[in-house]
Amino acid sequence: MSSVLSVVPSAVPSVVPSAVPSVVILGGGFGGIEAAKALRRAAVRVTLVDRHNHHLFQPLLYQVAMAGLSPADIAWPIRSILRDQANASVRMGEVTGIDLARRLVMLDEAAAASTAPQPVTIPYDYLVLALGSRTVYFGHDDWAAHAVGLKTIEDALEIRRRVLTAFERAETTADGRERQALMTFVIVGGGPTGVELAGALRELARFVLASDFRAIDPASARVVLLEGGRDILSAFPPDLVAAARRQLAALGVEVHVEALVTHVDSGGATVRMPDAAEPNGFREARFESGTVIWAAGVAATPLTATLGVPTDLAGRISVEADLSVPGQNGVFAIGDLAVFTHQTGQPLPGISPVAMQMGRHAAANIVRLTRGQPTQPFRYRDKGMLATIGRSAAVGRVGKLKLRGWLAWMVWWSVHIFFLIGFRNRFIVLFEWVWSYFTYSRGARLITEQHRPPDPRPPP
Amino acid sequence: MSSVLSVVPSAVPSVVPSAVPSVVILGGGFGGIEAAKALRRAAVRVTLVDRHNHHLFQPLLYQVAMAGLSPADIAWPIRSILRDQANASVRMGEVTGIDLARRLVMLDEAAAASTAPQPVTIPYDYLVLALGSRTVYFGHDDWAAHAVGLKTIEDALEIRRRVLTAFERAETTADGRERQALMTFVIVGGGPTGVELAGALRELARFVLASDFRAIDPASARVVLLEGGRDILSAFPPDLVAAARRQLAALGVEVHVEALVTHVDSGGATVRMPDAAEPNGFREARFESGTVIWAAGVAATPLTATLGVPTDLAGRISVEADLSVPGQNGVFAIGDLAVFTHQTGQPLPGISPVAMQMGRHAAANIVRLTRGQPTQPFRYRDKGMLATIGRSAAVGRVGKLKLRGWLAWMVWWSVHIFFLIGFRNRFIVLFEWVWSYFTYSRGARLITEQHRPPDPRPPP
């Protein structure tokens, strides 16, 4: 009979005693990673689930889209981040459902070359929802094909591909109208991402590509930044917004505010803009453009709508003061997935410092619950906000101090390099930054495609 | 009437006087780039065509596949390389046909977001064929989906994705057989690329991933290197081959020679191997593997078959002693696309020094033709060859000097960093190399996918 026992496959994962409560964290962004790390000394088992194998330093993602950095410079394997945390494990997979009643998470594990996606169910005692946001198109899902958002590395590489290819095609087309459209870039959304993309795109055209073409002058590329609200950078004080607009104008970015996109197709975008000369106060404008970039709308993952918990219009979960999901014991929502209004009456902004502080706080509340203690309310400690525009151009508020121009730009880079995970990434990004500052070149000007197996067909 | 003249679109590309002969170079690899650069002072117009916007430093491509480098570290925009060469222009497009009789090249320019691929016809006076080689599967095109080759950045990223995902799935599967297959990696082809991939893959598993997983021990990953011929690294002297085999064995790579792959599917590879115990001297072996990598067969682009010129079985054009295409006036073939047997009776190897020397020689012969002078025969100056295996492990022949181990490895890196185009890339690659040497980590461990627009469907 012992021979039977000896063939028990060594394959079965070791079962951790169920006395230790299980914390499942969904999402490896700023909030999820901070929550996992904050639990490193807690008597819990932590499972962090993400559909990618890497944590992404989102604030520098626009640099990948604009050919300044490589994806690996701003991403780091989640396994490496949690390597030395013995109570944490990582699962790569896409969350497909959450059963709050039975305390289960359903996910599809990534397909390997030899295996199909594998559905898996993971039970939890405590759950942290940190799945972040996704790009939405104000109900116009058909715009997605024409206007790429900027949430993932794949998005950034697609924007890079489209922008660089537009210049390639502009160089060779004989049709003047087509050339003009190819050299017009429309960025929808005047928040920090839109402003950063617009500035970096004008600099790419003006400095990096300037002498590489023969038939076109890349420096004449038109970059249009469209903001639907009263002004760009709505979270910033008015004098900093004015400084940002001056810096954008100096770079040659064309800014339109109160400009509502009403249509996007492969040839450009149609916009409703205020015009006092018109009887109804508005006119329709058409921007013929080969490349529309979408930095406007984000919403929570559609999963939140399936949970039967209170959400706002963007699908974000309206959390309690302690970050818990209303009516759910031991379930927390943080970061972009949560809307937290208990501090100022207004929702906290969807930025990484908020997500990180929330992650640490949710972890602390989970530890309190495991000890039978009451949870504590969350308070966001606002250290300020920064937005960069281009070379020596940025605006920022640090505490009550207002910064602009070169100083704001230095602070922006220092903060972003400091928060990049891992010495290696910090170093590479610093090098690329200094290098491109002095040489006006960019290190990642590649047009890459998805992989396709070789075409076995004979040539025509 | 002057108003009519003033609306002539500035769009029309300036027409270069036809008195200057046009040289069209197809392919921006080592051969094509060298040919273009060698023509910088010639009284010709140079047009370099490539389907990518970048020149790829192929010898380091295996490092991208094995998560050590980012694509941008080993690629450089062709436009940048030829930026200051006033007589050169660059066109990004896929060559679809060549009409030798009418001296025309047909190509499809890359599709931009707003425009479909555009067919274009370019006339030439002189033509350099430098389109390189592609992966072939010995007539089994259905293997391509299961065994990725390593020719392009897209290939390298796909291999990286498959290898890293295999470990992810191995970590979570409960099926012991599946886990074993996922942790078995089969590399077909024992040339320098196969040897480099095998060594780097064992090091990835043993050092880089070792402590990142909980359920599996990545260091136990099995790497199988299959060579169909008598031995690996057939172009190297026997004592260096023996040294390479010792170094591979020390790394834990399993090498099988005279092992002919007879079948590849999603579950692994079937191989015919010599076995003296069998009546016919052979046995069939099956390697259950989640990841098969193809470093075995290359052939010229299928376009060569349409030209009506003499080719070898791999479709390479049998060039004359002056690198010209037989029977074609002013048409040259170089690099992997050409088979040159006039020096030793044997074809020159498909390596970058051969391509570069051929590129310069073809350019010189074109200049001679423009001056009405006779062309000169090509002679390859063999400076040696190198193959790396892993940390402090390599073999090399420099002139008549034979190197192995640490010294060969230092020479390998020095040569490769020296030949990388642009100071920036040299510096980054050097940094990544030194960094990973001391930290046993790798900088580009990202699983990335192709871009897909957001899924508008509601969740289940």
Is the pLDDT at A454 greater than 70, yes or no? Answer: no
Domain end point (choices A317, A341, A370):
A370
The answer for residues whose C-beta is within 8 angstroms of residue B95's C-beta and 6 or more apart is: B26, B49, B51, B105, B106, B107, B131, B301, B303
| Confidence at residue A451, expressed as pLDDT on a 0 to 100 scale | 60
Q: What is the reported pLDDT for A450?
A: 63
Which A positions 296-335 lie with beta carbon below 8 A of chain B?
Answer: 301-303, 305-306
Shared-domain flag, residues B170 and B219? yes
Catalytic residues of A: 196
Q: Is A444 on the interface with B (CB under 8 A)?
A: yes
> pLDDT at position A391, please?
85
Q: Is residue A3 part of a domain?
A: no
Residue A65: what residue type? A
Q: Which residues have CB under 8 Å from A348's CB, separation 6+?
A: A340, A354, A380
Contact B109, A169 (CB under 8 A): yes
Residues B120 and B262 in one domain: no
pTM for the full model?
Answer: 0.89
Q: Exposed/middle/buried for A285, CB within 10 Å: 0-12, 13-18, 19+?
A: middle
The torsion region of residue B345 among left (phi > 0), alpha (psi -120 to 50) and beta comes to left
Residues 67-126 of chain B whose Cβ lies under 8 A from any Cβ of chain A: 70-73, 75, 77, 79-80, 83-84, 89, 91-92, 96-97, 109-115, 118, 120
The chain B residue lying nearest A172, using CA atoms, is B91
* Beta strands A393-398; A384-390: pairing state: antiparallel
Contact A113 B266 (CB under 8 A): yes
Task: Name which of B209, B290, B460 is nearest A112 (Cβ-Cβ).
Answer: B290
Note whether ipTM > 0.95 here: no
Q: Is the pLDDT of residue A2 over 90?
A: no
Residue B302: CB partners within 8 Å, gap ≥ 6?
A458, A459, B315
Q: Are residues A83 and A144 in the same domain?
A: no
pLDDT given for residue B7 in this prediction: 34
Burial class (CB in 10 A: 0-12, 13-18, 19+), B195: buried
Of A258, A174, A360, A47, the closest CA to residue B214 belongs to: A47
Number of domains into which chain B is organized: 2
Asked whether the predicted pLDDT for residue A452 surpasses 80, the reply is: no
Q: How far is A412 from chain B (nearest CA, A)?
A: 23
CA atoms within 13 A on the CB side of B198: 36
Q: Are residues B196 and B269 in the same domain?
A: yes
Is A239 touching B (CB cutoff 8 A)? no
Residues of B in contact with A112 (CB under 8 A): 162, 165-166, 168-169, 182, 290-291
Separation in Å, CA of A8 to nearest CA in chain B: 10
Q: Using the structure block, give the residue that is written with the tokens 């409560």.
A: A21
Which domain, by its residues, includes A409? Answer: 136-297+384-439
The CA distance from B213 to the nearest CA of chain A, in Å, is 7
Judged by phi (left if over 0) then psi (alpha if -120 to 50, else beta), residue A168 lies in alpha
pLDDT (tens digit, 0 to 9) for every residue of chain B, 460 residues total? 333 333 333 333 444 445 799 999 999 999 999 999 999 999 999 999 999 999 999 999 999 999 999 999 999 999 999 999 999 999 999 999 999 999 999 999 877 766 778 899 999 999 999 999 999 998 899 999 999 999 999 999 999 999 999 999 999 998 999 999 999 999 999 999 999 999 999 999 998 898 899 999 999 999 999 999 999 999 899 999 999 999 999 999 999 999 999 999 999 999 999 998 999 889 999 999 999 999 998 899 999 999 999 999 999 999 999 999 999 999 999 999 999 999 999 999 999 999 999 999 999 999 999 999 999 999 999 999 999 998 889 999 988 899 999 999 999 888 888 888 776 778 788 877 777 777 777 767 777 766 655 444 444 3
CA gap A28, A33 in Å, rounded: 5
From the CB of residue A342, how many other CB atoms can be counted at a distance below 10 Å?
A: 16
User: Tokens standing for A415?
Assistant: 């903060």
User: Tokens 């399936």, residue?
Assistant: A306
Which residue type sits at B379?
R
Are residues B310 and B242 located together in one domain of the fold? no
Q: Which residues of B touch A72 (CB under 8 A)?
A: 70, 443-446
One-letter amino acid identity for B66?
A: M
Q: Which residues of A fall within a CB distance of 8 Å from B302?
A: 458-459
Q: How confident is the model at residue A433 (pLDDT cuts 50, 70, 90)?
A: confident
Q: Does B427 touch chain A (CB under 8 A)?
A: yes
Beta-carbon neighbour count of residue A98 at 10 Å? Answer: 23
Is residue A180 predicted with pLDDT exceeding 70?
yes
Is some CB atom of chain B closer than 8 A to the CB atom of A441?
yes
Record the tokens describing residue A297, joined without a space: 């709308």
Residue A352, pLDDT score? 92
Last residue of a domain, one of B370, B400, B431: B370
A71, A448, A454 member nearest B144 (Cβ)? A454
pLDDT at B440: 73
Q: Do residues A268 and A183 both lie within one domain?
A: yes
Instruction: Note whether residue A11 is domain-resident.
Output: no
> Residues B88, B40: one domain?
yes
B438 touching A (Cβ < 8 Å): no
> Which residues touch A327 (CB under 8 Å, ≥6 apart)?
A309
Supply φ then ψ for residue B215, to 5 degrees: -95, -25
Gap between the Cα atoms of A140 and A297, Å rounded = 11
* Residue that finishes a domain, picked among B297, B322, B343: B297
The first and second tokens of residue B264, run together, are 């590849």
Same domain, yes or no, for B142 and B260?
A: yes
Same domain, A91 and A146: no
% of chain A surpassing 70 pLDDT: 93
**Rounded to whole angstroms, how far apart are CA atoms B128 and B106?**
14
Residues in chain A with CB shorter than 8 Å from the CB of B97 are 459-460
Alpha helix ranges (H) inside A140-263: 153-172, 176-182, 192-203, 238-251
pLDDT at B423: 67
Helix (H, G, I), strand (E, B) or coil at B278: coil
- The CATH code of the domain that includes B123 is 3.50.50.60
A64-to-A317, B133, B191, B320 alpha-carbon distances in Å: 30, 30, 35, 46
Please indicate whether, in this complex, the C-beta atoms of A154 and B452 are within 8 angstroms of each other.
yes
Q: Does residue A455 lie in a domain region?
A: no
Give yes or no: residues A333 and A187 share one domain.
no
pLDDT tens figures, A354-399: 999 999 999 999 999 999 999 999 999 999 999 999 888 999 998 8
Q: Nearest C-alpha of chain A: how many angstroms from B113?
A: 6
